[in-house]
């Protein structure tokens, strides 16, 4: 059952609103933390994965591109090989015909040569010269130029040196009128018959670049890649940008190419990364050089780039969205919990949390509700206990200011005064005064055992006058116990009880012994009388309440027991031992606590009294 009460207290100071602290606390919030952590972990993973993928794919792409390029160049090499073989075949056919013809200027030979010339588009001219450089015969329709300097030309000199077929570097054909054409010349020393005489001469055949051009044009190495052909000496036989090379506007790094017959490497001499692949033709010693631009041929790499960039962007966006939602979902009940807690902190104990969400949060709110309920119970209990304590004390106090007691006491005083017993009167009044001072003791609940014993002593003094030496008493206390704390006014009701119920009715002289001692950190006070004693039933009734003494102050021993229990706990309190006609021993047990210093204490009381 819930009690609707309003509690007002504060568990902690409120947060100052606004300002930097608010921002930073927002950044430290669980939502931001989750979002950031989640995002950064996901981004890191995505980046690492994509970098690894990129490297892997890029490497594969590079290898593929390289292989692809090598295959293309191999193909060109093969085609060129065929082409050179074709040139060689033509040349050998021509050589055969000239050698086997009875005379070089026979019309049959001229006819055959013309046929040969017509069979190929790339064949520009064919002619025979003497080793001295004199023109012997040539294909029809070609007039020789003057000042040709043919003796110095490479095809002429190299043909004279060996009996093998020699291939010249590209050069201008300047022998015949009409055109200046770039050609490659094939030349060889041959035997020919002139007027029945066997002579040695040089056969020259010039080929233009049409076929080579066509062969090379087919090479597609990316958008800007190309292939070019070098001769053994490093002269460029063919280059797609031959004119630019010749004009000195372009440059090709041929030195590393010349070193090997068969290789692939990466060249950066032009400032750009380029794949170079070299293959060498067997017959001519020409080298085919494939040039591919690294960043271009590896287009996959760039595609991959774009893809991965987009991929990363999308992943990061998704991760951010998901983590924002997720963290909001996680953080919402927690924030609600926090708000409720704040409300509780501000003193509203009547709130209830109904938070659904994660299991833990749900449990937390349930537990919190239970805790809140318990807090309310405890607070109710405390209030009840406090009220009871106050009431008990008030009752004791009221009992002391009992008019009957005062009347009796004052009567005794008057009687003593009448008898002129001044000494006793003074003792009496003094005791009464001290008795009341200690009773009040400035509203403190706790006093020392010393004071409590003084209090009871004064009481006994007063009562001994009243009962006219009907009893004797002793108060024995260990020194250690004197400074211990005790609840005030716990002895009086018991002594009163002993006097009124135990001793008053007995015929003999009574004796009350009060003994206080410290044992195992417990204060034990025994009130022993040799009075009438009581039955077990009475003892039970005394502690459970109900019995009120007829002559006493009306405050039961129960009150004392209750107060001890409230202050110190249920295990402490009163116990009785009694035997009819023998007497009663009441034992008070409560923990020994040192005197609290802050009390202004009795000194001040003394001055104010």
Partner 1 sequence: MKNVRFWLTLLICAVLWTTVTSCFNSAPNYINTNKTRNIHLIVKMNRGDYWNTVKLGAEAAAQEFNVKLTFKAPDSESDITEQVKMVQESIKEKADVIILAASSYMGLAQVVDQAAYSKIPVISVDAEVGSARVRTYIGSNGYEAGQKSAERLIKLLKGYGEVGIINFTSSTQSEKQESSNGIEYGARDAEEREKGFLNYTARYPNIQVVEISYTTSSIKEAEELTQLMLLKHPKLRGIASLNETASQGAAMAIQSRGLKNIKMVAFDSSPSMMELLQDGAVQATVIQNPFNNGYLAVKHAVEVIEGINVPERVDTGTKIIDLDNMLWPENQKLLFPFVR
| Per-position DSSP letters for 138-189, written without gaps between them | E-TT-PBPSS--GGGSHHHHHHHH-SS-EEPPSEEE-SBSS--EEEEEEEEE
Candidates 21-29, 113-121, 408-416, 598-606: pick the segment binding partner 1 (CB under 8 A).
21-29
Among residues 156 and 473, whose Cβ is nearest to partner 1? 156
User: Is residue 570 near partner 1 by the rule CB under 8 A?
Assistant: no
Instruction: Specify the DSSP class assigned to residue 542.
Output: H
Cα distances (Å, whole numbers) of residue 69 to 61, 220, 252, 279: 12, 9, 19, 12
Instruction: Specify the DSSP class assigned to residue 280.
Output: E
User: Is residue 18 near partner 1 by the rule CB under 8 A?
Assistant: no
**CB-CB contact of 237 with 230 (8 Å):** yes
**CB-CB contact of 90 with 205 (8 Å):** yes
Burial level of 187, CB count in 10 A (0-12/13-18/19+)?
Answer: buried
Pick from 30, 51, 115, 476 the residue near partner 1 by CB under 8 A.
51
Q: How far is the CB of 301 from partner 1 (least distance, A)?
A: 9
Among residues 270 and 377, whose Cβ is nearest to partner 1? 270
User: Is residue 466 near partner 1 by the rule CB under 8 A?
Assistant: no
Among residues 295 and 387, whose Cβ is nearest to partner 1? 295
User: Is residue 381 near partner 1 by the rule CB under 8 A?
Assistant: no
Among residues 32 and 410, whose Cβ is nearest to partner 1? 32
User: Is residue 121 near partner 1 by the rule CB under 8 A?
Assistant: no
Cα distances (Å, whole numbers) of residue 433 to 22, 162, 405, 494: 63, 154, 14, 21
Pick from 3, 146, 195, 608 the residue near partner 1 by CB under 8 A.
146
- Provide the token pair at 419: 């008898």
Which residues, other chains included, contact 282 with Cβ-Cβ below 8 Å and sequence gap of 6+? 81
User: Is residue 241 near partner 1 by the rule CB under 8 A?
Assistant: yes
User: Is residue 148 near partner 1 by the rule CB under 8 A?
Assistant: yes
The H-assigned helical ranges of 419-527 are 422-440, 449-466, 479-482, 492-497
Q: Is 121 helix (H, G, I), strand (E, B) or coil?
A: coil
User: Is residue 336 near partner 1 by the rule CB under 8 A?
Assistant: no
Q: How far is the CB of 395 from partner 1 (least distance, A)?
A: 59
Q: How far is the CB of 171 from partner 1 (least distance, A)?
A: 6
User: Is residue 41 near partner 1 by the rule CB under 8 A?
Assistant: no
**CB-CB contact of 173 with 160 (8 Å):** no
Candidates 44-52, 76-84, 279-287, 402-410: pick the segment binding partner 1 (CB under 8 A).
44-52
Q: How far is the CB of 596 from partner 1 (least distance, A)?
A: 42
Pick from 132, 147, 469, 608 the residue near partner 1 by CB under 8 A.
147
Quick one: how many helices (H) and strands (E) in the chain? 18, 18
The 10 Å Cβ neighbour count of residue 479 is 8
Q: How far is the CB of 153 from partner 1 (least distance, A)?
A: 7
User: Is residue 32 near partner 1 by the rule CB under 8 A?
Assistant: yes
Cα–Cα–Cα angle for 313, 316, 319, rounded to 5 degrees? 150
Q: How far is the CB of 314 from partner 1 (least distance, A)?
A: 14
Q: How far is the CB of 249 from partner 1 (least distance, A)?
A: 6
- Provide the token pair at 573: 């309190």
Candidates 237-245, 348-356, 448-456, 501-509: pick the segment binding partner 1 (CB under 8 A).
237-245
User: Is residue 244 near partner 1 by the rule CB under 8 A?
Assistant: yes
Which residues, other chains included, contact 290 with Cβ-Cβ below 8 Å and sequence gap of 6+? 69, 70, 72, 73, 76, 219, 221, 225, 226, 227, 275, 276, 277, 278
Pick from 101, 142, 235, 478 the residue near partner 1 by CB under 8 A.
235
Whole-angstrom distance, CA of residue 4 vs CA of residue 324: 41
Q: How far is the CB of 57 from partner 1 (least distance, A)?
A: 12
Among residues 270 and 551, whose Cβ is nearest to partner 1? 270
555 φ, ψ (degrees, to nearest 5) = -100, 120
User: Is residue 305 near partner 1 by the rule CB under 8 A?
Assistant: yes
Pick from 208, 431, 553, 578 the residue near partner 1 by CB under 8 A.
208
User: Is residue 242 near partner 1 by the rule CB under 8 A?
Assistant: yes
Based on C-alpha coordinates, what's the Rg of the chain?
64
Q: Is 573 helix (H, G, I), strand (E, B) or coil?
A: strand
User: Is residue 53 near partner 1 by the rule CB under 8 A?
Assistant: no
Q: Residues in the site for partner 1, rule: CB under 8 A?
A: 24, 27-28, 32, 36, 40, 43-44, 47, 50-51, 54, 145-149, 152-153, 169, 171-172, 174, 177, 179-180, 182, 208-210, 213, 235, 241-244, 246-249, 271-272, 295, 305, 308-309, 312
């Amino acid at each position: 059952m819930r009690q609707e009460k309003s509690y007002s207290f504060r568990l902690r100071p409120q947060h100052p609103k606004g300002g930097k602290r608010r921002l930073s606390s927002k950044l430290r919030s669980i939502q931001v933390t989750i979002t950031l952590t989640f995002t950064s972990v996901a981004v890191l993973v995505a980046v690492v994965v994509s970098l690894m993928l990129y490297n892997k794919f890029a490497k594969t792409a590079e290898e593929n591109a390289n292989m692809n390029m090598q295959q293309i160049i191999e193909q060109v090499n093969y085609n060129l090989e065929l082409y050179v073989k074709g040139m060689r075949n033509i040349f050998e056919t021509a050589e055969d015909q000239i050698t086997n013809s009875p005379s070089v200027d026979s019309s049959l030979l001229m006819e055959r040569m013309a046929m040969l010339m017509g069979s190929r588009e790339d064949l520009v001219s064919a002619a025979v010269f003497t080793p001295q450089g004199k023109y012997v015969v040539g294909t029809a329709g070609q007039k020789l130029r003057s000042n040709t300097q043919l003796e110095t030309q490479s095809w002429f000199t190299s043909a004279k040196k060996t009996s093998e077929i020699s291939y010249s570097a590209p050069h201008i054909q300047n022998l015949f009128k009409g055109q200046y054409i770039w050609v490659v010349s094939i030349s060889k020393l041959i035997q020919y018959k002139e007027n029945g005489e066997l002579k040695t001469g040089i056969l020259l055949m010039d080929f233009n670049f049409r076929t080579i051009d066509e062969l090379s044009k087919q090479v597609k190495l990316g958008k800007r890649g190309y292939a070019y052909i070098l001769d053994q000496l490093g002269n460029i036989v063919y280059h797609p940008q031959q004119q630019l090379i010749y004009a000195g506007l372009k440059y090709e790094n041929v030195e590393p190419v010349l070193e090997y017959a068969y290789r692939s490497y990466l060249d950066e001499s032009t400032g750009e990364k380029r794949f170079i692949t070299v293959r060498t033709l067997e017959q001519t010693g020409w080298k085919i050089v494939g040039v591919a631009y690294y960043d271009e041929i590896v287009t996959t790499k760039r595609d991959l780039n774009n893809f991965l960039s987009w991929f990363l962007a999308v992943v990061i966006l998704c991760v951010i969205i998901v983590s924002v939602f997720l963290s909001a979902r996680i953080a919402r009940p927690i924030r609600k919990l926090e708000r409720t807690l704040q409300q509780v902190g501000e003193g509203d104990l009547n709130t209830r949390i109904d938070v659904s969400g994660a299991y833990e949060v749900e449990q937390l709110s349930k537990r919190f509700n239970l805790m809140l309920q318990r807090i309310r119970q405890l607070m109710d209990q405390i209030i009840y206990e406090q009220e009871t304590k106050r009431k008990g004390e008030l009752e004791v106090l009221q009992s002391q200011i009992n008019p009957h007691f005062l009347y009796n006491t004052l009567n005794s005083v008057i009687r003593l005064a009448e008898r002129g017993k001044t000494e006793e009167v003074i003792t009496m009044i003094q005791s009464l005064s001290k008795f009341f001072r200690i009773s009040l003791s400035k509203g403190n609940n706790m006093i020392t055992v010393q004071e409590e014993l003084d209090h009871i002593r004064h009481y006994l003094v007063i009562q001994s006058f009243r009962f006219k030496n009907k009893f004797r008493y002793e108060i024995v206390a260990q020194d250690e116990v004197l400074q211990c704390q005790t609840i005030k006014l716990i002895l009086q009701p018991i002594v009163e009880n002993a006097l009124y119920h135990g001793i008053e009715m007995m015929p003999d002289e009574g004796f009350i012994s009060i003994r206080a001692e410290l044992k195992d950190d417990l204060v034990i006070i025994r009130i022993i009388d040799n009075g009438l004693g009581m039955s077990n039933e009475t003892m039970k009734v005394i502690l459970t309440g109900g019995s009120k003494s007829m002559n006493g102050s009306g405050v039961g021993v129960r009150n004392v027991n209750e107060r001890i229990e409230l202050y110190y706990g249920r295990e402490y309190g009163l116990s009785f031992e009694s035997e009819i006609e023998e007497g009663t021993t009441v034992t008070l047990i409560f923990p020994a606590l040192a005197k609290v210093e802050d009390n202004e204490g009795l000194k001040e009381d003394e001055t104010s009294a």
